[in-house]
Structure 1
Amino acid sequence: MDERHEVVAELEEARERAAGLLRAKLDAVAGHIREAAARAASELEVVVPPDLEILLPLAPVTRLLQAPTPPPAPAIALETVRGLDEGRAQSEVLKAFLARLEGLCGGRAILVFREGEVLGWHAVGMADDAAVRSWRARLDASAACAAVAAGKPVLLESAGDDALASLIGAGQRALLIPMSLRGKVVGAALALEANGTLATEAIQILTYLAGLLLETLAVRPVVPTPALAEPITMGAAPPLGEGEGESPFPAVEPVIEELDTGGVAAPEPVVAAAPPPVEPPAVAPVAVPPPAAAPRTPEEEQKHSEAQRFARLLVSEIRLYNEQAVQEGRANRDIYQRLKEDIDRSREMYEQRVPADVRATSNYFFEELVRILADGDPDALGV
């Protein structure tokens, strides 16, 4: 073998050794890569677990979507507000209020707070509406009523309030809402749940509205309130076109001709002689009736109307909080003796508010006492 062949052989051996080293290096690098990939895959399983519920729980969302959707709060119809607005006395407004709660709850009642007691006043849809009017309890015996008297609406289960349970029964879900008059809580609206229906928000809104109507009874002379009246529909009159509204005939100038008299003078007019004066027959004098009282001006009429409404409001309030005493007073014909303090206080309020000129020509407060408290019998007042 010559020298050239030896050189080639050495080069081939060197190439084989270099290739072997390269393969070994690449195998080592590939091994490192495989180890790193295995570690990354292992770590990825920790970050993204096979059970995706662990990463992003959907069970609560599923339960929420499967839960029954609560019914929307019932809207308060305009007719409901009109019904409340028609009342012209406190009792009328409150009874209309109870009637308009139909469909928002089950049985409902008005409770009155008076001298440390809570009294039933009127009820609709209760197990025994008449029994509500005779129900009474100490205010401090009912935690719910005491909270309402302090100005807090209350949702409760009657089983936790013995005093209230004696009225509506145990195990009854109920809503109590404060009713205010002249800035003072004077009673409560009681609403019972029926077949799962107790529209708390709607009942609260109607209670608030009834309170506003009670406050403004004396200053709302128009029934219904104009804002609640049925709108009238008016169509615009079509505009007149050019030439419309004018006579279709051309205007004609009148022609006046002078007559030719042929030079003959017009005769003098003949004036008839005046007849002799005739004496009228003697007439017996007739007595003239005295002039009637001057009618009231619109301003005076307005003052009298306001005085009458205020008297009606005051006396209605007396009856509202003293129904039993009124009934007993009618039977014994001594209403004034039984309600002297309330009547005198209301009379003082009437005299302070009503102008003297109105009181001098009317007695609206006494008339309302007779009409509302004495049922039209003045003797029942006992004065």
Structure 2
Amino acid sequence: MADPKEISQLVQQTVSEVIDGRIGALKDEVTRRVTESLTPLLEQAAKAPKKEESAPGGGPTDLLNAAVSTIYDANGQADILKAMLDGAAQFTARAALFVVKAGNLTSWQARGFAGDVKGVNISGASGLAGRALSDKEPVSAAAVEFDNGFINTHGNPFDGNAHLHPLVVRDKVAAILYTDAGTDMDGASDQSAVRVLVRSASSWLEIIALRKTGGAAAETAPEPVAAAAAAPAPTPPVAAPEPPPPPPPAAAAPAASPATDGLSPEDQEVHKKAKRFAKLLVDEIKLYNQAKVAEGRQNKDLYSRLKEDIDKSRATYEKRYGATVAAGAGYFTAEVIRILADNDVSALGDGFQ
């Protein structure tokens, strides 16, 4: 099991690195939620005997850092869930993701199980699943308290314990990650690391949901996750195409996508990530300043109203991509004009460059 102090430091480092540049309030909230949720497990870990661990290419901290980064690199909901499952498989012998709908659990994908786990239905009215749904917090107990049929089919974990980690999106449990130590005596079961991954996936799913709805509250918030997981496992769901944005005026921003023909695959990937990061930064400016955006468009003074946010996000973008092959592409400026000014550069007013 990872060292408690190491995990605590990792939480701060991971949240800072992965969410760097995103809205400050969100960063604080993610840090608070992850740290608070880890406290009980960290205390348990401190009392547990330490085991020597080694992993090719890095220790537990490196693996967890990489797994969290993979989650935040994913764009679609299904890809986020798969990244979380793949990451969890590095820290626990068996993991299965169950989608929650109408109070019941339906399995979607799993890692580490010998048999097919897809399509298993489990009641969420009682037992360990019921506790996870009502508490909205990770719960652990004897595996038989999860579901007798499931355990009889796939085998009781060697330590007899099962762990459920709810994915909470907009204060609703959208899915539950089941994990255990597997049937072999040497099975891994680092639930502290799994909890970090689940919290990261929940936070990223929530950001994506907010971006798609413009920040409006919705009673059916977890439904997109259920829809993503309902798709056949090998094929992520295909979202309905968004209508193309109106063509920019002649004085609009630099082209959103520079020609990348002739660039190496590595350089093309840098351009892709830079464009995605610029869009994320500007999306979140709009998300948390919708009234100012509307007023700024009407009064043609967007930049003066949002100068602090725009300049701070631009600095964050430049810090990450200002010294890369994407430095001269103008992605951040293009996204400011496209997203905030609705492709009307005059709406930004004087002073914007």
Structure 1 and Structure 2 fold alike (TM over 0.5): no
TM-score (norm 1): 0.39
TM-score (norm 2): 0.42
